[in-house]
Structure formats: C-alpha cells, structure tokens
Structure 1
Amino acid sequence: MQRYKIDDMSCGHCVSTVEKAIRGIDPAAKVNADLGTREVSVETTADSSTIVQALKTAGYDSLRL
C-alpha cells in the first residue's frame, strides 16, 4: 500500500479528482482518501513516481509517506 499527503485536497471535488487521476493510470486501484488528514492510501501495481506525476498533472502536489 502506498500513502500520499496532499495538502491541497480539501473537499469532495478534490477527492473525486484525485481518485480519477489515480484510476486513470490503474483502473483497478483501490483508493481511500481521508479529508481530515489530507492523506490518500492506494493499493495499486503502478509505481509511486507515476502516481505522483498523475496527481501533479491533475493539479495536486503530493508527498509519499
């Protein structure tokens, strides 16, 4: 499982955008976003650099935890 901190994720629309970005590179990914901590957990076969880039393209800077 990979975890990311996304400080700019602050609403349901943000969560939807983040999930869409991750599923755009791995449609089978399991994504769990927590707005309280602004963290996302991802179960995927994609490597973390690909996920970070997909999030950046969607407009979100992220930090792998």
Structure 2
Amino acid sequence: MTLQYQVPDMTCGHCVKTITGAVTAAVPGATVEADVASHRVTVSGTNDHTAVEAAIRDAGYSPITA
C-alpha cells in the first residue's frame, strides 16, 4: 500500500531528512519519498496511516492526506 500526504511546511532538504527519519523510525521497513517542490510525501510498505501521520506531526510538520 502507498500513502500520500501534502506537507505544506516541508520547505527544504533538512525537512525531508527529518520527515524521512521520523517515518522510518516509527514504521520500520517503510520507504519514504519526499518532493520539496510539490510538498508531497509518499510512504510505501505500510498501511498504518495513524503511525505515519503521528511521526510526521511529532517531527514538527503538518501532514494532510492527499
């Protein structure tokens, strides 16, 4: 399963690294792709949207289900 989020406050490479680290720590085995230009985060390998959204929020960002 693939989950997609808009993260409007993801604005730089540091944001990408922070979000990627948070999601992979919360959901081991998940693959995270983030595109700063479109503010889109795609998470593959899980269907646990609650854990993914919580990880992004805990990292200080605002995920919106895309």
Give per-residue Cα distances to partners, 1:5-58, cap 9 Å, x unaligned. Answer: 000100000000000010011231111101110001110225111111111111
Normalised by the size of structure 2, how large is the TM-score?
0.90
Report how many residues are paired: 65
Identical pairs, percent:
35
The root-mean-square deviation of aligned C-alpha atoms, in Å, is 1.0
Q: What is the 5 A alignment of 1:13-52?
A: 13-52=14-53
Cα distance in 1 between the residues matched to 2:11 and 2:20 = 14
Structure 2: stretches of 5+ with no match in the other structure: none
20-29 or 10-19: bigger deviation:
20-29
